[in-house]
Structure 1
């Protein structure tokens, strides 16, 4: 849990800051942010998939995680010296792709460790996911505060220190010989497709697109279109994150009673409802009330989603975790890009309607695939 918290703290301090750094720190045009993110995203997807396959085939967990940590340490050191967008794209972006595979590696490690020690896998997953939420409550606020007070170089140096702490924790806590049960690599190009796993990943994608669309549009929608105070976006996010952490703890118990898929169905209904209610808010207390519902839906999703995805490939935790992590990154990219396009063509309220539709799509996928269960999901070509 401490490993995942430290990894997420470093990532959350950098990822939201990069677009601001590109525009304000390097003096680049806003559209040039896409040059950086357009390279980091596919590299991250490839790195996550590669890491998952390596873990499933017996690659040492510690060695793989150290690759990710060293990439993070080097890129934070480089960021203190970067003076042009070209340097950022050529030097930092590839390292960021490698660094981003750290979370998935820790999630896979956590699952294998839990199985070998007869621990509750779903609960361990939810606790690991809770540490991610806690880190994202702290990291972005801390990094932007440091930038405002001391500048970008000091902020990147602090992230470098977090990376060093992460390195020490990984070195001390993960056994040098820890690996999954090695499986022979499939040499055939006609390896069967696990449709249940892909459907589970698609479901997660729907939730993440909803969240990203809302978070991207929320500040301008509340302040410009609704006329609420400038503190409203921050207050809404704080309430949501606070509720989310507590709900993550209870999501596993709820799943034990009604089932993981049913929890996700409930989350999708609450997600769509909260997005629609946000379009109607006119007072600050309206926002706070709906933010509680938003925190409930996202806490339910965050608490059980990784266990839901992993359940469709119990013998391939690395691949399943890679699918899960890639759904998060891909959903974030789709949501952030789509928000700008939708808002430019219409308005920010329309973005919230589209966000609601994304959750409805996740609900439809969940309901349409009721017969595809982890125990019965078959791999077919």
Structure 2
């Protein structure tokens, strides 16, 4: 391998890291303050806010899946990422200057749905580039995935700081600038990546990968496992701040500290997990992660003091850090001829879990109290383990 190729490869790798981080920051700027924006700026009542989240989530699932299907068949992923960033730019502009609920839930959601495909396409392109350049695909993905987590450590506090101190228009214009920078980086530094030639796949791989995802037992079991584990995690994120303050009567600053600690643990775990795949295998790592998740929810049920809640974040960080990184690679391995759909399935599984978690947590906590949310989470993670066991090696 020549030194010029190594330099070029390093530039491309850096461009993947920068692109992932900046697109991640753009999303992390918009999502945390959305309910506040709709309530206070637009004047939407709680029912309209809830409807907006549901419509936005469903539109994102559909939009990203359709773009993924197109990209796997005949699309240039680099052009699709640029197109998605352009849609994100249009979405940011609408939210920056419109305060009409119906404009936001139609045009705004339409652009957001198309923009949501950007990240899955980046991960699909990264996997194809890693294979073409001879890199360790899992370790490559781990470092890129860590950038997304880092973006979500920085983005939310920055989002609130901008919205509160400078207003929502400035915040959305800042998100718009992130999409512009992303388009520039992708255009200049990321090369077109040729898809792996069909002739390089075995007949068995082609037959399995090209069958409908709804009849592919491995893919469906992994998707159901993903939805259950992420629903449990999202219920915890929604419920924990209220549970800690209203039920455990601990400090109202504790939830932020717990979430920050978990995020801090997740990032190195993602990177370490990528290097452990050749040793332990993706399936075994998934089992380890889900068992850590089970231990975490058992601990949330049993322990009520702040010290133990801090210690439990080790299990939480291991759980989320591993599945957030290895999950997308697992889907890609099951669908090697359709990297876009594989990456999108993982992403859409998380979106589905957000919808389910909001419904289940709201109903369960109101009807039976906050403690039952963690029992439900424990059951869901256990079911996730069972479905993961059904995925063949």
Larger % of helix: which?
Answer: 2
Aligned with 2:193 (options 174, 178, 192): 178
Q: 1:155 to 1:50 in 2, by over 3 A?
A: same
2:149 matched to 1:133? yes
Deviations 1:52-96 (A, max 9, x none): 222222311122112210111111111111212112112211111
Aligned match of 2:9:
none
Report if the CA contact (8 A) 2:335-2:342 is conserved: yes
Aligned match of 1:97:
113
TM-score (normalised: structure 1): 0.91
Deviations 1:32-51 (A, max 9, x none): 11221222112211122122
Bigger mean CA deviation after superposition, 274-283 or 18-27: 274-283
The 5 A counterparts of 1:142-181 are 142-175=158-191, 177-181=192-196
Report if the CA contact (8 A) 2:138-2:277 is conserved: no
TM-score (normalised: structure 2): 0.89
* Cα distance in 2, alignment partners of residues 138 and 190 from structure 1: 40
Deviations 1:138-174 (A, max 9, x none): 1111101222222211211211111211121121122
Aligned match of 2:359:
337
2:124 matched to 1:124? no
Aligned match of 2:228:
206
Q: 1:154 to 1:248 in 2, by over 3 A?
A: same
Report if the CA contact (8 A) 1:59-1:180 is conserved: no
Deviations 1:108-137 (A, max 9, x none): 000110111111111112222111111111
Aligned with 1:322 (options 330, 341, 344): 344
Deviations 1:207-257 (A, max 9, x none): 211110100101101111111101011000000000001111111233322
The 5 A counterparts of 1:308-319 are 308-319=330-341
Bigger mean CA deviation after superposition, 57-66 or 215-224: 57-66
Aligned match of 2:18:
2
2:70 matched to 1:54? yes
Aligned match of 1:108:
124
Aligned with 1:355 (options 377, 384, 390): 377
Report if the CA contact (8 A) 2:128-2:193 is conserved: no
Aligned match of 1:278:
300
The 5 A counterparts of 1:234-273 are 234-273=256-295
- Taking only aligned residues, the RMSD between alpha carbons, in angstroms, comes to 2.0
* Cα distance in 2, alignment partners of residues 88 and 170 from structure 1: 28
* Cα distance in 1, alignment partners of residues 130 and 91 from structure 2: 32
Deviation at 1:190, TM superposition (A): 8.6
Number of corresponding residues:
367
Report if the CA contact (8 A) 1:57-1:183 is conserved: no
Bigger mean CA deviation after superposition, 200-209 or 98-107: 200-209
